[in-house]
Amino acid sequence: MFSIKKVVLVGSCLLSLNSWAYDTLGISNNRDSPYVKFKNIGIGDAKWTEGFWADKFTMLESTMIPYMGELLKGDIGHGYNNFKIAAGLKEGKAKGFAFHDGDFYKWLESTMYLYAINKDPALIKQIDEIISVIAKAQQPNGYLQTHSIIKDIKPYTNRKYHEMYNSGHLIYAAIIHHRVTGQRNFLDIAIKNANLIYDTFISRPEHLARFGFNQTQIIGLVELYRQEKDKRYLELAELFINMRGGNTKLNDTTRLNMTGDMVQERTPLRKESNAVGHAVLAMYYYAGAADVYAETGEKALIKALERIWTSANQKKMFVTGAIGQAHHGISSNKDMVHEAFLDDYIMPNSTSYNETCANITNAMFNWRMLGISGNSKHADVMETVLYNSALSGISADGKHYFYTNPLRRTHKVSTSRFGKKGTTATLKRESYLNCFCCPPNLIRTLAKLSGWAYSLTDNGIAVNLYGGNTLNTKLLDGSVLKLSQKTEYPWKGKVEFVVNEAKSSAFDLLLRIPDWAVGAQLTVNGENAGVDTSSGQYVTLNREWKSGDKITLNLPLQVDLIEGNPLIEETRNQVAVKRGPVVYVAESIDMPKDTEILDVYISGNSTFKPELIANFSGSNDTIVALSGELLIRKDNPDNELYKKVSQPTFDQHTTQLIPYYSWSNRGVAEMTVFMPVVWNQPNTTTDKSSSWWSIFGN
pLDDT the model gives residue 638 = 66
pLDDT over 50 (residue 203): yes
Q: Which pLDDT value is given to residue 636?
A: 67
Q: What is the dihedral of CA 553, 559, 563, 564, to 10 degrees?
A: 40
**Are the C-beta atoms of 288 and 222 separated by less than 8 Å?**
yes
**pLDDT computed for residue 303 by the predictor:** 98
Mean pLDDT (the chain) is 91
Q: How confident is the model at residue 183 (pLDDT cuts 50, 70, 90)?
A: very high
What pLDDT score does 334 carry? Answer: 87
In the chain, pLDDT over 70 holds for what percent of residues? 91
The Cα–Cα gap between 661 and 577 comes to 13
Q: pLDDT by residue (tens digit) across 440-460?
A: 999 999 999 999 999 999 999
Residue 491: other Cβ atoms inside 10 A: 18
Exposure of 464 in the CB half-sphere (CA atoms within 13 A): 33
Query: What pLDDT score was predicted for residue 251?
Result: 72
Measure the CA–CA gap between 31 and 23, rounded to whole angstroms. Answer: 11
pLDDT band, residue 585 (cuts 50/70/90): very high
Indicate the pLDDT class of residue 12, thresholds 50, 70 and 90: very low
Average pLDDT of 535-559?
A: 98
Q: Given this model, what pLDDT does residue 248 score? A: 66
Where does the pLDDT of residue 621 fall: very low under 50, low under 70, confident under 90, or very high at 90 and above?
confident
551: phi then psi, degrees, rounded to nearest 5: -115, 130
411-433 tens-digit pLDDT = 876 544 444 444 445 788 999 99
Flag whether pLDDT at 631 surpasses 90.
yes
Residue 17: pLDDT band (50, 70, 90) is: very low
Pick from 406, 332, 317, 297: nearest CA to 366: 317
Q: What is the pLDDT of residues 72-126, one digit of tens each?
A: 999 999 999 999 999 999 999 999 999 999 999 999 999 999 999 999 999 999 9
Q: Please write the tens of the pLDDT for every residue from 135-181.
A: 999 999 999 999 999 999 999 999 899 999 999 999 999 999 999 99
Non-local CB neighbours of 697 within 8 Å, separated by 6+ positions? none
Tell me the DSSP string of 399-412: S-B-S---SEE-SS
Catalogue the E-assigned strands of 488-545: 494-501, 507-513, 521-524, 527-528, 537-543
Buried b (16+ CB within 10 A) or exposed e, 670-687: bbbbbbbbbeebeeeeee
The residue extents of the domains of the chain are 35-73+453-489+493-556, 78-256, 278-448, 559-696
Quote the CA–CA distance of 544 and 503 in Å, as a whole number.
8
Q: Kind of pairing, strands 460-463 and 507-513?
A: parallel
Residues 474, 477: Cα–Cα separation, whole Å: 8
Task: Report the alpha-carbon distance of residue 544 to residue 539 in Å, rounded.
Answer: 16
**pLDDT tens digits for 354-406?**
999 999 999 999 999 999 999 999 999 999 999 999 999 999 999 999 999 99
Q: Are the CB atoms for 450 and 24 separated by under 8 Å?
A: no
pLDDT the model gives residue 222:
98
pLDDT of amino acid 23: 42
